[in-house]
Structure 1
Amino acid sequence: MKQFFLSLVLISCSVYASAQNTTENYFKLTREGFNKTNAYNTTAFVEKYFRLPGNSGFDASIRKVESILKEVGFVEQKNNEKESVLTYRIEKRPMRRNAWEPVDASLKLVGENTPLMEFKSNRNMIAINSSSTPENGIETEVVWLQPNTKIEDLNVAGKIVFSADVSSGRIFSSAIKAGAVGVIGYSLPNYNQPTKHQTSVSFSSIQNPDNKGFAINASYAVKEKLKSAFSKGPVKMQAMVKTKSYAAEELTIVANVQGSENPDERFVYSAHVQEPGANDNASGVGALAEMARLTASLYKSGKIKPKRTITFLWGDEITSTGRYIQEDTVRAKGILWGMSLDMVGENTAVTGGTFLLEKMPDPSAIWTRGEDKHSEWGAGNVTEKDLFPHYYNDFIYNILKAQSKHANWVVNFNPFEGGSDHTPFLRNKIPGLLMWHFTDVFYHTDNDRIDKVSATTLQNVGISALTAALVLTSADENTAITMVKDVLEAAKVRLKTEFELSSKNIENGAAADKEKRIVEVWGKYYADALATINKVPVKQESTKLGSAIKVAVLDIERITADYLLKLK
């Protein structure tokens, strides 16, 4: 019996070492090959544009990615992905609405020489879907809409309505209906620290089906300047707004590195192009473009040969990813993993926050306690029926921790919150994770510029994300057995933590049934997560994996039962 146990230990150690060597070999390739200057330069190119589907900046960004793909050897597919190992396609769809883009704008108080705001320094000042003023602008009175006052009770015909308390979008429709020519609104969340970063302007949109009137988003400084001007008497303003609206096609670009054995099974990355910021999300576009370039380069040099397909997608946030999954049900069945790259280039010394892996829904999204905490984005509405037990959370976090240790890079995680390209995967029961940063004090503002981006952060994220896909798309039995060990260890740590938290809560008067339920759900979550590892290998080689999973699940069930018994 002792000899048998010793044999199992030796086999386990051998398997673990083999899998670790495989992962380290992929890390070696990605660390040597990822060119952070490429990623940064692509980010800088995309950042120049105010990007919305169909507009010139969005299309220029797609074409930039195309040029990178073509240069490294991706060929444009004619009929299907399997025409070559390295293919790409640009999908074109008619848009139901016109594309929109800002051109220029300025606000100037009559009697002052210096503009109050200018588009060249506040490119989010024009609310999306605003129309233009006459060529030379307008000069008119500004009406201050005070809290608890209705626009209908004011004379705003031919004037500009200003609110220091609500966004331009909230007052636009009623103001235009009452005869106003435009509005100025102010709204910035506290995490943008507007009193410190007083020039920040958050982008927003308005409903403007008649293409009539404009909306201006004010910075804190402009809001205060206008309030001061009103304290001295009536305010008149010269306003000039230039925008474009035109029929266009929406573009999505999809590239594939075809798997050699199971090409219909795939890992899908998504980076959205739209939004006007540098970190959000020119950084995702730049990182993913460099990841695609490196993957193709490694394949062509014979250093990698993925057995499953790796897919790279750039498009409109959530919409393009959701369409990719839903338009082809056969293809969707083969998507084994999804990953969103969103706000992945942060210079955290400037923007604040930290790198985060947003987990798929696990019990911490329901019971957020201990060291778990949500970002300032805020918790999603997760219940027990929404839980997604899977090894993917711990596998990716282990990859990130390995790069963190190697590069002295700070990584963290947050419970599921939603709101980016990982959500379409999850809605379709596909494992999906988000790599991002929060809080960023410049999030969604026009101070999110290229000087807030770190080439080193782009490199760390890109290396981690690509290494994960290289491991998973060629995973063998040894890889999977190692994952069983790693997930089991993560489960033990989590269960011990939850038991200790619940014990303390019960001591302090909390209901024992509730506390026991938390531990029980975590135990079941990890037992179910371990079971999903059986699909990791590209092909089944023996019964070793099944046995390893069974033993690990029994271990989790035993530990959980023991903790529940101790919680009185």
Structure 2
Amino acid sequence: MKRILIFALTLFTTTGFSQTITDNYFKLTRANFNQQNAYETTAFVEKYFRVPGNTGFNASIHYVEDILKKAGYIAEKANEFEAPLTYRIEKRPMKRNTWEPVDASVIIVGETMPLIAYKTNRNMIPINCPSTPKDGITAEVVFVGKGTPADFEGKDLKGKIVFGDVATGRLISAAVKAGAIGAMGYSLPKYNQPEIHQTSISFGSMPANAGIWSLLLSYGVKEKLKAACLKGKVELKVNIETKIYQAEELTIVANVKGSIKPNERFVYSAHVQEPGANDNATGVGTLAEMARVTATLIKSGKLNPQRTLTFLWGDEIVSTGRYITDDKERAKGILWGMSLDMVGEDTKKTGGSFLIEKMPDPSAIWTRGTDKHSEWGAGDVKEKDLFPHYYNDFIMNICKTQGKFANWTVNFNPFEGGSDHTPFLRNQIPGLLMWHFTDVFYHTDNDRIDKVSATTMKNVGVSALTAAYTLITADENTASATVNQVKNDALIRLKTEFELSKKAIAEGKSLTDEKHIIEVWGKYYVDALATINTMAVEPKTTRVGSTIKVATLAVEKQTQIFLDELKNISNNSSAN
């Protein structure tokens, strides 16, 4: 009991110290982040179905460019450090043609209103789908159930449209083989709640040069067409207009030069492609406003970045991965990465929750207690994949501080992957994801501007900027406060895991296995504490190293106490 009391007192005092260091940056970012700016950029970007190289993607890149130019960033000519604020647009030839949708409609012959139309369902046309002839095409549609070989057997499909209660992609190959001219199907995951949101269509793609066109259907349209087909012969008039053409892939990179260690940097990434508002027009809009705020603070003399801050907009994972691997010397200086993906949700409408996806820590292997994966699903994380670093706890504490200030709910999930944080991690660079999940409109054409919250974008932007500003100007006080913060987080986690293991042993679980979990968590935090030694831009004493040693001993001691107690509990259980 005494040990717990001392621990609680330590937690209170050190957390307060940590917050005082970031107070100034919180005040600056809260006062200067204009959520309406972020919202307006999001509204512009979400108008387009964005594929690398197409009209909407490029328009979004140039919209961000205009924001940067007005903020004071100058076009890079010689190198990225020729001025305090620079930007460049990187242009690369694409290995395949780009694609964009123009219009589409499907009408049941004999009816006046379209069964489905692009104006209300922009995701109905899969990426790479070709156009039909100019005046459309009229043909019989044949229902093939779940699209199994048996469902195709004995059916005359030549010159007809194949329709199935299955993902369109699973129909195309068989449809081509049978001589069909088109394929239509349906598939949405349960978290989209398609029976409730019956107009939703999840965007998808089809093979280029497949030889036929295809369309994606909503639950409501699928059910209506299925009922019609089961009654008798149905003919459809289908009209699809798309553009397929050669183009360049654009990436825009903005840099804020560090005054002391310009080659060390914090990198933000927000991907432009995808057709949604939250995914990921909100990431584009939030990051653009963050870049504007940064320029404003630098020009007013209120921010002096000692390390470089980089803003990146491009093709998800591809642009970020290329930025890291194209220049090995530059990559050596990337100390932190952050992905902004789906960061502006109105959670009352989407059902999602703001999440920080952590770098791989033991909760990605042993997910228990209050830890839980999103419906995206767990990755295959092994002990060798763990990434011990202070960055997880540092970012979570920054976001929690903003959450408390703004009455904003902040949650987190174990590592899962799938966005722009993964290229950082693959290259052994600390990288985190800010996002929302589970969202009932995720990847569907109901992910529109009315589901976006400007307030949420501000909360994310303020948190992300405050974190980066603190790190790119970190001194020994920042590092020492972070040591105490991470130590306390470690002690809380160890206590939590101990209670879970104690319960598991009482339920018959292996003592060896439960001790191993505690050991791994202890080692994880010991290794994470060690990484704080390089946080300060210009360390002048050995104070941080000494603080790390003291904190490490505290974590190791507490780990051993819990291991011994687990052993005693197990022995007592065996004796009884």
TM category, shorter: over 0.9
Match of 1:354 in 2: 353
- 1:132: how far off? 0.5
Is 1:76–1:89's contact at 8 Å kept on the other side of the alignment? yes
Is 1:346–1:457's contact at 8 Å kept on the other side of the alignment? yes
Matched, 1:111 2:78: no
Is 1:39–1:286's contact at 8 Å kept on the other side of the alignment? yes
Matched, 1:184 2:184: yes
- 1:53: how far off? 0.2
SS at match of 2:298: helix
Following the alignment from structure 1 to structure 2, what is the Cα–Cα distance between the partners of residues 209 and 107?
A: 22
Equivalent residue letter for 1:112? E
Is 1:16–1:481's contact at 8 Å kept on the other side of the alignment? no
Match of 2:272 in 1: 273
Match of 1:252 in 2: 251
Is 1:55–1:101's contact at 8 Å kept on the other side of the alignment? yes
Is 1:351–1:452's contact at 8 Å kept on the other side of the alignment? yes
- 1:214: how far off? 1.2
- Counterparts of residues 26-45 of structure 1 (less than 5 Å): 26-45=25-44
- 1:151: how far off? 3.6
Match of 1:377 in 2: 376
Following the alignment from structure 1 to structure 2, what is the Cα–Cα distance between the partners of residues 248 and 19?
A: 49
- 1:16: how far off? 7.8
Match of 2:340 in 1: 341
Is 1:127–1:214's contact at 8 Å kept on the other side of the alignment? no
Following the alignment from structure 1 to structure 2, what is the Cα–Cα distance between the partners of residues 451 and 84?
A: 39
Is 2:106–2:116's contact at 8 Å kept on the other side of the alignment? yes
Following the alignment from structure 2 to structure 1, what is the Cα–Cα distance between the partners of residues 355 and 47?
A: 26
Cα deviation digits, residues 471-530 of structure 1 (max 9, x gap):
000000000000000000000000000001001110110011001100000000000000
Deviates more, 1:169-178 or 1:23-32: 169-178
TM superposition score normalised by structure 1: 0.96
Equivalent residue letter for 2:177? K
SS at match of 1:285: helix
- Counterparts of residues 105-254 of structure 1 (less than 5 Å): 105-147=104-146, 148=148, 149=150, 151=152, 153-164=154-165, 166-209=166-209, 212-254=211-253
Equivalent residue letter for 1:111? G
- Is the alpha carbon distance of 1:153 and 1:547 closer, same or farther for their aligned partners in structure 2, counting shifts above 3 Å? farther
Following the alignment from structure 2 to structure 1, what is the Cα–Cα distance between the partners of residues 155 and 272?
A: 41
Following the alignment from structure 1 to structure 2, what is the Cα–Cα distance between the partners of residues 50 and 83?
A: 35
Following the alignment from structure 1 to structure 2, what is the Cα–Cα distance between the partners of residues 186 and 143?
A: 14
Is 1:339–1:435's contact at 8 Å kept on the other side of the alignment? yes
- 1:17: how far off? 6.9
Is 1:337–1:431's contact at 8 Å kept on the other side of the alignment? yes
Cα deviation digits, residues 9-31 of structure 1 (max 9, x gap):
99x97x98775333100000000
SS at match of 2:27: helix
Cα deviation digits, residues 389-446 of structure 1 (max 9, x gap):
0000000000000000100000100000000000000000000000000011000000
- 1:150: how far off? 5.0
Equivalent residue letter for 2:498? F
Is 1:39–1:287's contact at 8 Å kept on the other side of the alignment? yes
- 1:76: how far off? 0.4
- Is the alpha carbon distance of 1:126 and 1:432 closer, same or farther for their aligned partners in structure 2, counting shifts above 3 Å? same
Following the alignment from structure 1 to structure 2, what is the Cα–Cα distance between the partners of residues 248 and 300?
A: 37
- 1:174: how far off? 2.5
Following the alignment from structure 1 to structure 2, what is the Cα–Cα distance between the partners of residues 294 and 152?
A: 62
- Is the alpha carbon distance of 1:366 and 1:19 closer, same or farther for their aligned partners in structure 2, counting shifts above 3 Å? closer
- 1:231: how far off? 2.3
SS at match of 1:567: helix
SS at match of 1:418: coil
Following the alignment from structure 1 to structure 2, what is the Cα–Cα distance between the partners of residues 528 and 158?
A: 64
Equivalent residue letter for 1:74? Y
- 1:176: how far off? 2.0
Matched, 1:412 2:411: yes
- Counterparts of residues 417-436 of structure 1 (less than 5 Å): 417-436=416-435
Following the alignment from structure 1 to structure 2, what is the Cα–Cα distance between the partners of residues 348 and 355?
A: 8
Following the alignment from structure 2 to structure 1, what is the Cα–Cα distance between the partners of residues 253 and 428?
A: 21
Match of 2:304 in 1: 305
- 1:154: how far off? 2.8
Following the alignment from structure 2 to structure 1, what is the Cα–Cα distance between the partners of residues 184 and 131?
A: 15
Match of 2:536 in 1: 537
Following the alignment from structure 2 to structure 1, what is the Cα–Cα distance between the partners of residues 79 and 478?
A: 31
- Counterparts of residues 507-518 of structure 1 (less than 5 Å): 507-518=506-517
Following the alignment from structure 1 to structure 2, what is the Cα–Cα distance between the partners of residues 83 and 158?
A: 62
Is 1:18–1:478's contact at 8 Å kept on the other side of the alignment? no
Following the alignment from structure 1 to structure 2, what is the Cα–Cα distance between the partners of residues 360 and 152?
A: 49
Equivalent residue letter for 1:484? V
Match of 1:89 in 2: 88
SS at match of 2:266: strand
- 1:152: how far off? 6.1
Match of 2:99 in 1: 100
Is 2:337–2:432's contact at 8 Å kept on the other side of the alignment? yes
Matched, 1:446 2:459: no
Equivalent residue letter for 1:162? F
Is 2:50–2:272's contact at 8 Å kept on the other side of the alignment? yes
- 1:153: how far off? 4.6
Following the alignment from structure 2 to structure 1, what is the Cα–Cα distance between the partners of residues 280 and 15?
A: 37
SS at match of 1:81: coil
Following the alignment from structure 1 to structure 2, what is the Cα–Cα distance between the partners of residues 470 and 75?
A: 21
Equivalent residue letter for 1:318? I
SS at match of 1:469: helix
SS at match of 2:124: coil
Structure 1: 5+ residue stretches without partners: 1-8
Deviates more, 1:497-506 or 1:146-155: 146-155
- Is the alpha carbon distance of 1:337 and 1:111 closer, same or farther for their aligned partners in structure 2, counting shifts above 3 Å? same
Following the alignment from structure 1 to structure 2, what is the Cα–Cα distance between the partners of residues 69 and 250?
A: 20
SS at match of 2:214: strand
Following the alignment from structure 1 to structure 2, what is the Cα–Cα distance between the partners of residues 409 and 232?
A: 52
SS at match of 2:122: coil
- 1:353: how far off? 1.8
Match of 1:262 in 2: 261
Is 2:291–2:311's contact at 8 Å kept on the other side of the alignment? yes
SS at match of 1:82: coil
Matched, 1:23 2:22: yes
Q: What count of residue pairs does the alignment treat as equivalent?
A: 556
Deviates more, 1:19-28 or 1:466-475: 19-28
- Counterparts of residues 311-326 of structure 1 (less than 5 Å): 311-326=310-325
Match of 1:5 in 2: none
Equivalent residue letter for 1:50? F
Percent of aligned positions that are identical: 66
Following the alignment from structure 2 to structure 1, what is the Cα–Cα distance between the partners of residues 34 and 173?
A: 48
Following the alignment from structure 1 to structure 2, what is the Cα–Cα distance between the partners of residues 231 and 16?
A: 66
- 1:296: how far off? 0.5
Following the alignment from structure 1 to structure 2, what is the Cα–Cα distance between the partners of residues 123 and 172?
A: 20
- 1:208: how far off? 2.3
Equivalent residue letter for 1:501? L
The alignment's C-alpha RMSD in Å is: 1.5
Is 1:168–1:186's contact at 8 Å kept on the other side of the alignment? yes
- 1:209: how far off? 2.9
SS at match of 1:430: coil
Match of 1:479 in 2: 478
Following the alignment from structure 2 to structure 1, what is the Cα–Cα distance between the partners of residues 541 and 176?
A: 70
- 1:333: how far off? 0.3
- 1:157: how far off? 1.3
Cα deviation digits, residues 336-364 of structure 1 (max 9, x gap):
00000000000000000210000000000
Is 2:15–2:485's contact at 8 Å kept on the other side of the alignment? no
